[in-house]
Amino acid sequence: MLSFLTSLVNGLSLGSIYAIIALGYTMVYGIAKMLNFAHGDFIMVGSYVIFIFVSNLGLSPVIAIPVAVVLCLILGVTTERVAYRPLRNAASPLAVLITAIGVSYLLENVALLIFGADTKSFTSVIPWSGITLAGGEIRIQGVTIITIITSVVILLALQFFVHKTREGQAMLAVAQDRSAATLMGIDVNKTISLTFAIGSALAAIAGAFLCSAYPSLTPYTGAMPGIKAFVAAVLGGIGSIPGAMLGGLVLGVIEILARTYISTQLSDAIVFGILVVVLLVKPTGILGKIIQEKV
């Protein structure tokens, strides 16, 4: 029982990281109707920025994390402006998808040239050791508690932003009908850029928690978590902010339980098997809705 509770808490911690990443995915897809497969590499970029500031320069994470957020934000907006916007009205949607994959490989190879392929030891940005329960039988790390709390705060903040602010209402309008939003005076380009900015900033925050929980860093650090977060977004209902959160938590718990009780080697296969099952049984995801396409 204690082992199960420990695994459950660890699953919620990992799921919270997936949820933060998935929120970035679902924001971009919900508004811009594109899958930014370079999103996982923004996690890697943010993690390297924090690594440089904390490990190499000896600065506090209080300084390093905001800097990483700002730099990833700029990277996301620049990527959207240079690589994605010119292809937004391309005849085939595959053009943007292929470009996103190209941007992903570009970022990974630039990181290889700068930092090399060696694994870096990442210093946790959460100095709090955590708490113990059940007479010391269950130990919950500080990074686990902070990650879960942060993911909930981000969810609530995004919900408030999207539904209660003018910029958020513009996002909903663009997501509903881009042409009609333009006729109503909404700057579609600015709205989509803002969406990329938010998603990229979330990637930097996710990178800080991911590398704190699993303290190793390579140019490929964000690749697999990014793909799994995409699975989480689909599982919860891509385009749905609460769905991304729910999907991330469910996927994290399933992955950790699979590692503990089934097989470490098969845990990834189980995760992607879930994606196949969801697409077959309920393609819209747990909280997703069927969208009627105009023809």
In the three-class reduction of DSSP (H, G, I as helix; E, B as strand; rest coil), residue 21 is classed as: helix
- Other Cβ atoms less than 10 A from the Cβ of 220: the count is 14
**Do residues 12 and 249 lie in contact, with contact meaning Cβ atoms separated by under 8 Å?**
yes
Reported as a single tens digit per residue, the pLDDT across 182-235 is 988 999 999 999 999 999 999 999 999 999 999 999 999 999 999 999 889 988
Burial class (CB in 10 A: 0-12, 13-18, 19+), 142: middle
pLDDT of residue 295: 45
- Other Cβ atoms less than 10 A from the Cβ of 43: the count is 31
**Do residues 23 and 206 lie in contact, with contact meaning Cβ atoms separated by under 8 Å?**
no
Reported as a single tens digit per residue, the pLDDT across 109-158 is 999 999 999 999 998 888 888 787 766 677 788 999 999 999 999 999 99
Q: How far apart are the first and last CA of the chain?
A: 55
Q: Out of 57-66, 93-102, 216-225, 247-256, pick the least confident.
A: 93-102
In the three-class reduction of DSSP (H, G, I as helix; E, B as strand; rest coil), residue 284 is classed as: coil
Sign of CA dihedral 86, 92, 97, 99: negative
Q: Which domains does the chain have, with CATH numbers?
A: 2-281 (1.10.3470)
pLDDT of residue 136: 66
Bigger pLDDT: 79 vs 91? 79
**Residues 251-261, mean pLDDT to the nearest whole number:** 92
In the three-class reduction of DSSP (H, G, I as helix; E, B as strand; rest coil), residue 139 is classed as: strand
pLDDT at 291 over 70: no
C-alpha pair distances (Å), 153 with each of 17, 158, 159, 160, 232: 13, 9, 10, 11, 19
